[in-house]
Amino acid sequence: GQNIDQPTEMTATEGAIVQINCTYQTSGFNGLFWYQQHAGEAPTFLSYNVLDGLEEKGRFSSFLSRSKGYSYLLLKELQMKDSASYLCAVTGYSSASKIIFGSGTRLSIRP
Amino acid sequence: KAGVTQTPRYLIKTRGQQVTLSCSPISGHRSVSWYQQTPGQGLQFLFEYFSETQRNKGNFPGRFSGRQFSNSRSEMNVSTLELGDSALYLCASSPSRNAGDTIYFGEGSWLTVV
């Protein structure tokens, strides 16, 4: 079956660092996406990990461990505009759909 | 280049009616997927179209259907609307059917069923 778990809500302080975790169990796995979605808007692409390790892209980094079925998204130097939902999604050759999404983590940034 | 375009953006329908939503993918993208997003259920996969053929289908009743045209534009239809169909319907496009393709979302169509 397909199962993706991530925390429902998180709160962090402006200027700080936050790590959003995602664990997955899928019948097939190719890679893992992170998307950002502001309230009332469409999800936008943040990162895609296929190989184990950390990929850094500006203030955002994403980590993947295929053996552990685990990923995290790291946000540094948090800004108020980072308040959004962060969606973890996996792709697998044998999944019924191209991408399976987690329920998302709603991140609130406080001043 | 233009992003994924969905129309209409907002609409209100009555129970029992039917609705058609339209999606124009990014130019050159041939795969179009549809998702339903509700506060309680998150993003739920509806179906995927490629080369005018439905390739995958999610766990939704037959009231939900779709099609894709030769120019890759896609439509989805929901018949006999129910209150629970109120949701944001998102269309996403990608260049091909490769598992690693990034999918790009449109702004969505907000459907309210009263």
Query: A–B: how many Cβ contacts below 8 A?
Result: 61
Kindly determine whether residue A42 and residue B103, on different chains, have CB atoms separated by under 8 Å. Answer: no
Peptide bond connecting A111 to the previous residue in cis, omega within 30 degrees of 0: no
A68 torsion bin: left (phi>0), alpha (psi -120 to 50), beta (else) = alpha
Q: CB A100 to CB B99 under 8 A?
A: no
At B75-102, the pLDDT tens digits run: 999 999 999 999 999 999 998 877 678 8
Distances (CA, A) of A76 to A58, A61, B40: 9, 8, 29
Which two structure tokens, joined as six digits, stand for A40? 């009332």
pLDDT at A96: 46
Average pLDDT over residues B35-39: 90
**B79–chain A nearest CA distance, Å:** 23
What is the reported pLDDT for B79? 96
Mean pLDDT, chain A, rounded, equals: 91
DSSP B38: E
User: Scanning every residue of chain B, which has its alpha carbon at the shortest distance from the alpha carbon of A97?
Assistant: B56
Quick one: three-class SS letters along chain A? CCEEECCCEEEEECCCCEEEEEEEECCCCCEEEEEEECCCCCCEEEEEECCCEEEEECCEEEEEECCCCEEEEEECCCCHHHCEEEEEEEECCCCCCCEEECCCEEEEEEC
In which band, very low, low, confident or very high, does the pLDDT at A93 lie, cut at 50, 70 and 90?
A: low
